[in-house]
Amino acid sequence: MRIRVLALAASVVWALTLVSAQNEPRQVSLVVTGGTVVTVDAAGRVIPAGAVAIDGTDIVAVDTAENIAKQFRGRDTINATGQIILPGLINTHTHAAMVLYRGLADDLALTEWLNKYIFPAEAKTVSPAFVRAGTRLAALEMIQSGTTTYADMYYFEEEVAAETKAAGLRGVLGQTIIQFPVADAKTPADGLLRAEAFIRAFKDDPLITPAVAPHAMYTLDGPTLKAARDLSRRHNVPTLIHLAETRDEVQAAQDRFKSSPVAYLDSLGFLGPGVLGAHGVWVSDADIAILKARGVGISHNPESNMKLASGTAPVPAYLRADVGIGLGTDGAASNNDLDMFEAMRVAALLHKHANVDPRALSARTALEMATIRGARALGMERRIGSLEPRKQADLITVSASGARQTPMYDPVSHLVYVMRGDDVRTTVVNGKVLMRDRKMLTLNESSVIAEGRAWIDKVRAAVK
């Protein structure tokens, strides 16, 4: 009898434990809750009063705030009431350290701008210290304006990587290969050696994807282009290249190879998955078909293209052909900022205007280009670009309750046509909070800005 009572008591205790275990919310590292969640998933799900549960580096659930509260308890909670919660923005093309040349020379065509200002300034000022200070300043600006992943093409890329990691950002960082002597390589062969060392150093890093960045078909000979591509294939890392940016580039390809830049690179066996072409302004339908067939991604940089008057990329044609196409700012010297909200808005307006068709690029597509389509262009769509369980926890929250944002009928419309980088409140990358309610947590804002300012005299002297 006594045994039966004990057995009964034990089973009651077991049942109660089971019930409480089922009701006990699972503890996770971070819950961002209360805002309108714009997931940018395949269904385009928007959740008013939603929440995102994050554990460690990954998203574990995206649901209504009520359902998330039932299932999860965050060791840390961010209240995003009155805000929009969305995937962090992906800048598919920039030269981060070039923020130190911001506004140095404006209102010039690309060739003159490059040859008279940018290349001479780079020859005299680019150094590890310059790249460190510039990348820190760019990282500060990117975190403050909601960029969580960026693709970079520059020199001393190991310094870029160190600063990117310290800031907590995700980067696809391409070591530049160029035919003429530059600060970090006397010859393209030196550049290739440096790129290989860089790849080995950062191959398995959780935040950094090392890449090879042959500058462009017009600044490199065929054997070097092939060698750069072979290097990236050997290590299975991305290749970043400027592609068909200006009419001059198309003319150079015609004169030298009787071919378009795209067809020329294809004839070298250069094109394939893992290649990201920046700009892709001057391409024919045949070029677009080649890019699609080879699985090449494109980075569209509307502000840089407009400012340098390079031309208008045929974005609707890329979209119709289902080429992976993301948005980029290009370097701050030709933009002149790294605000991806501005890039979204300018892209949407530019293609409506150029095509005399308000449907040419919708707000939804512009937002996708800054998130999931950008991830696809970089070959990272399984890891980032939308708010979905099992993806890496890169998200931002954006204020949606100020005068400029009121009223809000459609959060996607507001993100593209109303919001600015300054509206970003909180930035999370890989589950780590980098900025919380505008307070920087990984960078010292005032000292980073002071360091950037300290370069003015040296840069000015370099182009005198």
* Minimal CB distance residue for Zn ion: 330
Q: How far is the CB of 94 from Zn ion (least distance, A)?
A: 7
Rg of the chain (C-alpha set): 24
Element (H, E) at 377: helix 372-377
Q: How far is the CB of 216 from Zn ion (least distance, A)?
A: 9
Q: How far is the CB of 113 from Zn ion (least distance, A)?
A: 12
Residue whose CB is less far from Zn ion, 182 or 415? 182
Residue whose CB is less far from Zn ion, 330 or 368? 330
Element (H, E) at 426: strand 424-429
Residue whose CB is less far from Zn ion, 28 or 118? 118
Bond from prior residue into 355 cis (ω within 30 degrees of 0): no
Residues 308 and 114 sit within 8 Å (Cβ to Cβ)? no
Q: How far is the CB of 181 from Zn ion (least distance, A)?
A: 20
Cα separation, 391 vs 398, whole angstroms: 20
Residue whose CB is less far from Zn ion, 15 or 309? 309
Interface mask (CB under 5 A) for Zn ion, residues 328-347, using x and -? --x-----------------
Residue whose CB is less far from Zn ion, 95 or 345? 95
* Helices vs. strands in the chain: H and E counts, helices first: 19, 19
Residue 6 CA to its chain's centroid (Å) = 62
Please give the full DSSP string across 255-317, using - where no structure is assigned: HHHSS-HHHHHHHTT--STTEEEEE--S--HHHHHHHHHHT-EEEE-HHHHHHTT-----HHH
Residue whose CB is less far from Zn ion, 119 or 417? 119
Q: How many residues bind Zn ion (CB under 5 A)?
A: 1
Other CB atoms within 10 Å distance of the CB of residue 286: 11
Q: How far is the CB of 299 from Zn ion (least distance, A)?
A: 9
Interface mask (CB under 5 A) for Zn ion, residues 354-373, using x and -? --------------------
CA torsion sign for 351, 357, 363, 364 is negative
Q: How far is the CB of 331 from Zn ion (least distance, A)?
A: 6
Q: How far is the CB of 280 from Zn ion (least distance, A)?
A: 12
Q: How far is the CB of 122 from Zn ion (least distance, A)?
A: 13
Alpha carbon separation from 371 to 51, 89, 377, 464 (Å, rounded): 19, 5, 10, 40
Element (H, E) at 89: strand 89-94
Residue whose CB is less far from Zn ion, 215 or 376? 215
Q: What are phi and psi of 55, to 5 degrees?
A: -125, 120
Interface mask (CB under 5 A) for Zn ion, residues 301-330, using x and -? -----------------------------x
Residue whose CB is less far from Zn ion, 157 or 423? 157
Binding site for Zn ion (CB under 5 A): 330
